[in-house]
Homo-oligomer: A and B are copies of this chain.
Amino acid sequence: MPPATRKGTREPARRNGGRAPRKRDAEVLEAAARVFHERGYANASVQDVADAVGILKGSLYHYINTKEDLLYRLLEEVHEEVEQVLESVAAEPDLGPLERLHLYVDRQIAYNARNLVRISVYYHDVERLSPERRDAIHALRRKHEDFVTALIRQAQDDGVVTCDASPRVLANYIFGSIIWVYRWYRPRGRIRPDELARIGADFAIDGLRGGGAPAVA
Contact call A210/B216, Cβ cutoff below 8 A: no
- Cβ–Cβ < 8 Å partners of A185 in chain B: 172
- Please state if B215 and A205 are interface contacts (CB–CB under 8 Å): yes
Give the residues in chain B near A101, CB-CB below 8 Å.
Answer: 215
What total of chain A residues lie within 8 Å of the partner, measured CB to CB?
47
Contact A211 B208 (CB under 8 A): no
A216 to chain B: which residues have CB within 8 Å?
A: 99, 102-103
Q: Is A62 an interface residue (CB 8 A)?
A: no
Q: Which of B42, B179, B181 contacts A42 (CB 8 A)?
A: B42
Kindly specify which of A14-22, A68-76, A80-88, A196-204 makes contact with the partner chain: A196-204
Whether the Cβ atoms of B169 and A175 lie closer than 8 Å is: no
* A194: min CB distance to chain B, Å: 13
Task: Report chain B residues within 8 Å CB of A166.
Answer: 191, 199
Residues of A165-184 whose CB lies within 8 A of B: 165-166, 169-170, 172-173, 175-181, 183-184
| Bound CA–CA A101/B181 (angstroms) | 21
Majority SS at the chain A contact face:
helix
Please give, as numbers and ranges, the residues of chain B lying within 8 Å of A169 by CB-CB distance.
Answer: 191, 196, 199
Please tell me which one of the listed residues B165, B178, B206, B215 contacts residue A199 in the complex, with CB atoms under 8 A apart: B165
Q: How far is the CA of A203 from the CA of B209 in the complex (A)?
A: 9
Find residues 149-165 in chain A having any chain B CB closer than 8 Å to their own CB. Answer: 163, 165
Residues in chain B near residue A143, CB distance under 8 A: none
Contacts of A211 in B (CB 8 A): 206, 211-212
Using Cβ atoms and an 8 Å threshold, which residues of chain B touch A184? 172, 175-176
Report the bound CA distance from A166 to B192 in whole Å: 12
Q: Which residues of A contact B (CB under 8 A)?
A: 40, 42-43, 96, 98-99, 101-103, 123-124, 128, 163, 165-166, 169-170, 172-173, 175-181, 183-185, 191, 196, 199-212, 215-216
Q: Which 4 A-B pairs have the closest CB atoms?
A: A176-B180, A207-B207, A42-B42, A206-B210
